[in-house]
Amino acid sequence: MSTEISDLLAHAADGGRISPDQALLLYTDAPLHALGEAADAVRRRRYPDNIATYIIDRNINYTNVCLTACKFCAFYRAPKHEEGWTHSDEEILRRCGEAVELGATQIMLQGGHSPDLGIEWYERIFSAIKGEYPTLTLHSLGASEVVHIGRVSALDHAEVIARLHTAGLDSFAGAGAEILVKRPRTAIAPLKEDGETWLSVMETAHRLGVESTATFMMGTGETNAERIEHLRMVRDVQDRTGGFRSFIPWTYQAENNHLKGRTQATSLEYLRMIAVARLFFDNVNHLQGSWLTTGKDIGQLTLHFGADDLGSVMLEENVVSSAGARHRSNRTELIELIRSAGRIPAQRDTLYNHVLVHADPALDPVDARVHSHFSSTALTLLPVASAAAS
């Protein structure tokens, strides 16, 4: 290892800020183990309690109708397509009820950009969910939906955000970021808002008191320098607002979409990105590793490369699954993945408060119903006793 790289790793591990050029050097040239060790040192300093978290939530994909036609997307159907659907209010509420029954604390409403859904539709459904299930946190939509709703309802971004928030939206998901850098974003999502607009909507939301997460979908043909530039764009906004609670990189899934087979990120590239993100984001609290797109083994390894969170059990997910993400898990397995990585597992809420710390394996919750599903088919709710025994 060169002196330049070892000095840089020591500087970043101590909490010093690194530049985008330095991050790129570490991403491409630092030895993997040294990179992971430095990132883990940052994680240990931030979380000396040795806890790593997961959350129980449900993605409710309310419509697959979408005008935006992203080339990486296997989920959407164009308006008037015979396979297009939009869930009724009753169906969405029923799915929320099931999620509450299974211990979910958070709902992620995510869907296509349907020309038929304006601000009133979102206000109505958010109010209805909060009215019926006031304890559920609505961590939903994202900057792209704000832009779309603004177009459909002729409102500016601040008005859309304020009205959604008033109706019950608690925070925005980081969806729709994919890659924010102009060249690769235009190549994979030419009809989506540009990266600067995505960030500007998030900045507006943060200023209005609505926090969010930030994501990154790796592996659609971007260069290494463009990967780091994506991080820089997020960090610059975070310096001004502090409103990104976490950074969540994941990998492009190649099935059933127009980019199929073009490129994907390898597991090692993913682990290097996790570690560099932990070193680069001195201003973002949490870093989530993805088991859904990279598999449980790589997901578990992220806990040694700087991640402090493994995300959701995902009681339902349809979008990434449509593109080929076949990995499934359950609460028991996520707890064990975290524990066997040498960490103390804890269920968290959207704000990263610990809901339940699993310090004693003998007291681990046992409910076989709390596992991930990947179809729009409603969950089968078995009685707790028989489900636990199965």
Q: How far is the CB of 342 from ligand SF4 (least distance, A)?
A: 36
Query: Which residue, 103 or 112, has its beta carbon nearer to ligand SF4?
Result: 112
Query: Which residue, 103 or 111, has its beta carbon nearer to ligand SF4?
Result: 111
Q: What track of x and - describes contact with ligand SF4 for positions 137 through 156 (by CB under 6 A)?
A: -------x------------
Q: How far is the CB of 143 from ligand SF4 (least distance, A)?
A: 11
Judged by CB under 6 A, the residue of 38, 70, 119, 164 near ligand SF4 is 70
Q: How far is the CB of 61 from ligand SF4 (least distance, A)?
A: 9
Query: Which residue, 59 or 68, has its beta carbon nearer to ligand SF4?
Result: 68
In whole angstroms, how far apart are CA 286 and each of 49, 79, 107, 148, 262?
A: 14, 37, 19, 28, 31
Distance separating alpha carbons of residues 96 and 40, to the nearest angstrom: 36
Strands across the sheet containing 244-251: 57-61, 106-110, 137-140, 171-172, 212-218, 244-251, 286-287
Judged by CB under 6 A, the residue of 59, 68, 204, 251 near ligand SF4 is 68
Note whether 275 and 266 are within 8 A (CB). Answer: no
Is 306 a residue that touches ligand SF4 (CB under 6 A)? no
Is 280 a residue that touches ligand SF4 (CB under 6 A)? no
Token reading at 205: 């939301």
Query: Which residue, 191 or 268, has its beta carbon nearer to ligand SF4?
Result: 191
DSSP-derived letter for residue 354 is: E
Is 69 a residue that touches ligand SF4 (CB under 6 A)? yes
Q: Helix/strand/coil (H, E, C) string of 138-191?
A: EEECCHHHHHHHHHHHCCCHHHHHHHHHHHCCCEECCCCCCCCCHHHHHHHCCC
β-strand pairing of 354-357 with 344-348: antiparallel
Is 76 a residue that touches ligand SF4 (CB under 6 A)? yes
Token reading at 18: 């690194």
Is 75 a residue that touches ligand SF4 (CB under 6 A)? yes
Is 247 a residue that touches ligand SF4 (CB under 6 A)? no
Residues 84-143 that bind ligand SF4 (CB under 6 A): 112-113
Three-class secondary structure of residue 340 per DSSP: helix
Q: How far is the CB of 222 from ligand SF4 (least distance, A)?
A: 16
Is 54 a residue that touches ligand SF4 (CB under 6 A)? no
Query: Which residue, 97 or 115, has its beta carbon nearer to ligand SF4?
Result: 115
Q: Residues comprising the binding site for [4Fe-4S] cluster?
A: 66, 70, 73
Residues 6+ apart with CB under 8 A from 321: 374, 375
Beta bridge partners of 54: 347
Query: Which residue, 13 or 73, has its beta carbon nearer to ligand SF4?
Result: 73
Query: Which residue, 177 or 228, has its beta carbon nearer to ligand SF4?
Result: 177
Q: How far is the CB of 94 from ligand SF4 (least distance, A)?
A: 22
Distance separating alpha carbons of residues 109 and 92, to the nearest angstrom: 9
Q: Which residue has the tokens 């979908």?
A: 217
**How many residues in the shown chain lie near ligand SF4 by CB under 6 A?**
10
Which positions lie near ligand SF4, rule CB under 6 A?
Answer: 66, 68-70, 73, 75-76, 112-113, 144
